[in-house]
Amino acid sequence: MSMLGRTPARAAMIADDIGNNTIDSNKIINASIVAADIGALDASVMTGVLPVGVTGGSGLDAISGVGGSTFTAVADGAIAAGDECIVTAAGKLAKITSSTNDVFFGPSTSGLFADWSTGNGFRQYEIYDRLWNYAQSLSPNPFASQAAMNQAAYNSWTNASWGLAIHQDGSGGYGNMWQGSINTSGVYSDYYLTINSLSIISVTGSAPSTTNPGTLFSWLNYKQLVFRFKYSATVTNMNATNFCGWADGAYADGVNATINLKGSIETGLTGLTTGSSYYIQKNGTLSTTTDDPSVLAGVALATDKLLVS
C-alpha cells in the first residue's frame, strides 16, 4: 500500500547517538542543529537556547549553569570571591556580615509593675510575661520564643557583669537605676526567684546603693518600673528577602561587582552533603539548619556544588 501524502516516521533518538555524534538527518527535528554539533554544543549552536548570562562551551558540561544568570552593581564594601551577597536598600551589592554585641533588652518608655512587696523574692514569671509582650511588639523579635527570652533574662540576672537593671521611672530617661546581679539557688523556670544575695553593678540617681533586698524592694514599692537585661545580640545585614547569590570574583569597595544569581550552580564549595538543603547563616556561612531569618541557599548537587535557590 502506498503512503501518499504522509512522511515516514523518524527513528527515535537514543542516548548513544548523542554521545557518539551518530545522529542522522532523519533523527534531527530542528534542521539548524547538525549531528556534529551535539558533542560540541558551542555558543553558536546554543544561540537562543541558553538563558541570558549563560554561555555555550564544549560539551554538555558547558550548560551546567542553565537557568542561572549574573547581576552587576556597585560593591558596598570589599567582596571576596565566593562571598554570599545581598542587595542593599541602595541597590548595591554587599557581602553578608554579622556582629555580636552585649546590649540591653527591655522597654524604655512604659512601666511594667507598680505592685511590689518587700518580701525576699520577686515574681520572675510576671516580669518574663511583660518582657515577652514587649519583645513581640518588635520587628523582628530578637528571640525565637518566650522560653529563649526567659533563659536569656535569667542568664543576665545571674551574671556578675550584666545583672538585672531596674528603673524607677517609665519616662525613658533611666535617671534612677539600680543594676545588680542575683545569687540564687533557683532556676529560670521558677515562678519566684529566691534571692540568696545581691551584688551592685551600677546605681544612678535616687536609686539606693544597697544589697539588702528589703531596702531595694521598699524603694520599688508603688513606682512605675522598667526592667531590662543584657544579652549577646547578633546583628546581620541579611534579612529574609535580600540574599541574591555568590560573588564570582574579588571586588574593592565602590567598583562594579558581579554575582551569580539564584538558579545558577555555585562551585568551589566543600563538605556539602549531596541532596541536602543548605541555609545562609547570619555570618554568611552555610548550614543544613535554619537561622533567623530563615534563608534557603540551595540544594547540594555534589560535595562541592550547590544549586542556588
294-308 pLDDT, tens digit each: 899 999 999 999 999
User: Which of the residue ranges 164-173, 180-189, 209-218 would you say has the lowest mean pLDDT?
Assistant: 164-173
Residue 27 has pLDDT above 60, yes or no: no
Written as one string, the DSSP assignment of 212-274 is -HHHHHHHHTT---EEEEEEEEEEES--SS-EEEEESS-B-TTSEEEEEETTSEE-S--S--T
Q: Which long-range contacts (CB under 8 A, 24 or more apart) does 195-201 make?
A: 195/120, 195/121, 195/122, 199/160, 199/163, 201/160, 201/161, 201/162, 201/163
Range of 71-85, 118-132, 157-171 with top mean pLDDT: 71-85
Across all residues in the chain, what is the average pLDDT?
Answer: 77
Percent of the chain with pLDDT over 90: 42
| Mean pLDDT computed over 123-138 | 88
Residue 55 has pLDDT above 50, yes or no: no
Q: What pLDDT does residue 34 have?
A: 44
Residue 145 has pLDDT above 90, yes or no: yes
Q: Are 69 and 264 in contact (CB under 8 A)?
A: yes
| Mean pLDDT computed over 151-172 | 84
Q: How confident is the model at residue 224 (pLDDT cuts 50, 70, 90)?
A: low
Range of 23-27, 39-43, 66-70 with top mean pLDDT: 66-70
Residue 61 has pLDDT above 60, yes or no: no
Residue 44 has pLDDT above 80, yes or no: no
| Mean pLDDT computed over 231-249 | 91
| Mean pLDDT computed over 127-155 | 91
- What is the β-pairing status of strands 295-302 and 277-280? antiparallel
| Mean pLDDT computed over 163-177 | 70
Percent of the chain with pLDDT over 70: 69
Q: How confident is the model at residue 22 (pLDDT cuts 50, 70, 90)?
A: very low
> Model-level pTM greater than 0.85?
no
Residue 12 has pLDDT above 80, yes or no: no
User: 100 pairs with which residues across the strands?
Assistant: 234
| Mean pLDDT computed over 131-140 | 89
